[in-house]
Chains A and B, each alone.
Chain A
Amino acid sequence: MWRRKKKKDCGCDAPRKECSRWQKAVRTFCRNRLAVIGAVILVGFIVCAIFAPYIAPHGPLEMNLSALHKPPGTPGHLLGTDGLGRDVLSRLIYGSRISLSVGLVVVSIAAVLGTAMGLISGFFGKTTDAVIMRVVEIFVAFPFLILVVAAIAILGPNLYNVMIVLGLVSWPLYARLVRSEVLAIRELPYIEASRAIGCSNVRIMFKHILPNCISSVLVTAAMSMAGAILSTAALGFLGLGVQPPTPEWGMMLNESKQFLRSYPWEIFYPGIAIMLVVLALNFLGDGLRDALDPYLRK
């Protein structure tokens, strides 16, 4: 049958040949519904975190001792109150500050440290590589949460220790990833050419090799931020994370756990909050991987 031929276009304003790879990636990302949903949810949480004082109906530490353990739907307290009369909704909103900031800091530390180690290890090879990879193997030999719990137990549970310990235990993931990418890129002709014209090692590493690794680092960062938020909540649940009265989702679950029999609704909302953020980050990570991956394969 006669069909009208449609000119192929990737949807961006520039003429086809000038459409950059990033624009193509954004286009692929936007077509993935789940990834967009994830991004929207994440933005929602970020807005909550930044504008918490304006959004939350009460303060996070505001106790109302005449309204303890109120169920959701009580006037003034949309999601109820906890054991000390604090509004659950406000604590959830302020708690997003803690979770998101810990996630961000942990991923930044781990990504920067891990990428640097991976670059050095992959680029210089031989003994440097062997040494760094042995260290990575030793870190990886520890079950993640166990090393984290032991370190926090000894260093003391507070926000900064959580961030630092989680960051320091997560870097091997990035190091191994970046190293494998570097090993592949290192053999390409243009690297040899750069060396031939006299580029220093540092310049080659950061200007030529690194930009090609960035995509996989970004995808891993999104997924591992989800893991960091889960770990923070787990530490909070065990009592080893951010200490009360600071509102943290895991700690809220820990406090509600004791009242499971009498006030069972209290465990719902912090758990849902954690799940939503992690879900959003997972969707985002999946979408990023699909958007950036075909580019990688080219």
Chain B
Amino acid sequence: MRWPQRSVAVGMAVAVQAVLLVVAVAPRLSARLMGDEYLVRVAPVDPIDPFRGAYVRLQYPDLLSDDAAGRREDERVFIPLVRDGGLWRGGGLLADRPEDGPYLACRYDGGLRCGIESLFLSQTEARSLERDLASGGGVARLRVDGRGHAAVVAVEPG
């Protein structure tokens, strides 16, 4: 069976769409597939995304300090991860990519954005997790790849 030229073009367009799909989630996909796991302290703030539903907005008290002084919009910064007992914490902001050790690659956009600020859950789960985190704090399980791309894998209260 010979497919018409239009169907071939549609097949190519679907391939382009598949590539765009990967581009849209590339840093998070890379962190999940190739990253190592780190545990950090976490605290909640809560809203909703119109396309993806309820989520818990996360803050990392030991990791990200939202110090705006002298920061430009869109500026790239790097946060080395330092072991602190069973958890990890941030080792300050660096302008250049660290040569060794795990680190987060972030962007300044009205605050530090490292790709780990949201955890999408169902409405009920989001509300319950937010309550648990607000009362007793919690720990986020992150995966971070060699380029500093990070993804939230799970958040555990307590």
Does B bind A? Answer: no
A-binding residues in B (CB < 8 A): none
B-binding residues in A (CB < 8 A): none
